[in-house]
Amino acid sequence: MKGSVAATPRPTGRAWILVMIFLGLPFIAALALADVALWLFFKHVLASCYGIFCLI
């Protein structure tokens, strides 16, 4: 139609879920693996405490 402007597309609820699945979960998994690797390094190589376990 002449003179009318269509609304701009917006992310849907499903789009937000897919973003969290494909971007959020791998990011959290990478951080968890890095945390485990650092814990193993501090515990076995440096024979030291790591993170919150230092407070116990």
pLDDT tens digit sequence for 2-31: 778 888 888 899 999 999 999 999 999 999
Confidence bin at 33 (pLDDT 50/70/90): very high
Taking the C-alpha atoms of residue 44 and residue 38, their distance in angstroms, rounded to an integer, is 10
Q: Output the six-digit token pair for 13.
A: 């609820």
**Closest to 40 in 3D by CA, of 26, 30, 32:** 32
Taking the C-alpha atoms of residue 11 and residue 44, their distance in angstroms, rounded to an integer, is 47
pLDDT tens digit sequence for 36-48: 999 899 889 988 8
List the chain domain ranges: 31-56
Q: Is the pTM of this model over 0.75?
A: no
- Please, how many CA atoms are within 13 Å of residue 12, restricted to the half-sphere of its CB? 3
